[in-house]
Structure 1
Amino acid sequence: MTQLADIKNLDDIKLLVDTFYTKVREDELIGPVFNEKIGNQWPSHLERMYRFWQTILLEEHTYSGSPFPPHKHLPVAKEHFNRWMEIFTETINNLFKGALAEEAKLRAQNMAEMFFYKIEYFRNGGRNFFES
């Protein structure tokens, strides 16, 4: 049995992103949403995700932009975010172990929650669910 190591470099980020999105693309629940939105732009999406996670986890500032706007009008609900998180966590746990691996899961969870609430906010005409 191979001992898992932590995320250390861009090659590890690429392994994480490629493995994760291979699973996402094939998933019955979230695959259709991603495949419809991204279409034939997967190579550029993956490159953007490499830079995003490289910036977040390795503090090598290669990503610029705002990650939320492309997600604003996606036809997703809480179960889509839950499934995204399940796949992400499973991918990390199968590939890595260590402080940055744990940081990746925490950052992903925070992002999933924030995106869900922001999408709901826009769907409700600028009102959150706590308002009557």
Structure 2
Amino acid sequence: MKNKKNYLFLGLLVILVLLSYLPSLFSGFVSDDINAILESESLLKHASYIIANPKFIVRSALFYFAYQLGGPNPAFFRSINIIFHIGVVILVYLIIPHFSKKKYLAFFVAALTAVHPLMIESVTWI
């Protein structure tokens, strides 16, 4: 992060992610989200939910904290996914320059990561 241009690019990437995924905050639960969240409401009310399935401890912790903040509101669950996606995009932008000296490649790859259709599942699905 040596100059102001990096901050400008990072800001543009964050805006790109927000423009792409903020509309998903107004959608309801879909598919297996109904089973994982709505039908597990009684479990999500207790911190023991986090360690109930050690294989998915990070996911369980995120579900638990999202439920504690907003109840069974899908916007809180998706907000956490969007925040993590912004983090991934920033990491991609910061890591790519270590592999290539091309000036704008990091921004292009991070922008592609930000809005590529394959990412929709990991961001908007819960």
More helix by share: 2
Higher-Rg member (1/2): 2
Q: TM-score, normalised by structure 2?
A: 0.28
Q: TM-score, normalised by structure 1?
A: 0.27
